Amino acid sequence: MEFFVKSLQLFREFCLLFGIFYLKKFIIRFFYFLELICKVFLLF
């Protein structure tokens, strides 16, 4: 039972780390996309 709890905690920590990393990538892409849209609007 203790092994199950430990693996669950490890899995949660891994998900958290992966989630933060993925979120950072997503935010960077979002801001890049936003900048692109602003440039397009400024051109017109």
Distance, CA of 10 to CA of 3 (rounded, Å): 10
pLDDT attached to residue 29 = 96
Give the model's confidence band at 44: pLDDT under 50 very low, under 70 low, under 90 confident, else very high: confident
Locate all alpha helices (DSSP H) within the chain, ordered by sequence: 2-43
pLDDT of residue 24: 93
Residue 1: per-residue pLDDT: 75
Token match 């979002």: residue? Answer: 30
Q: Where are the domains of the chain?
A: 1-44
pLDDT at 35 over 80: yes
Residue 33 has pLDDT above 90, yes or no: yes
Rounded Cα–Cα distance for residues 2 and 32 (Å): 45
- d(C-alpha 6, C-alpha 41), whole Å: 52
Token pair, residue 2, equals 């203790």
CA distance 25 to 28: 5
Report pLDDT digits (tens) over 2-30.
888 999 999 999 999 999 999 999 999 99
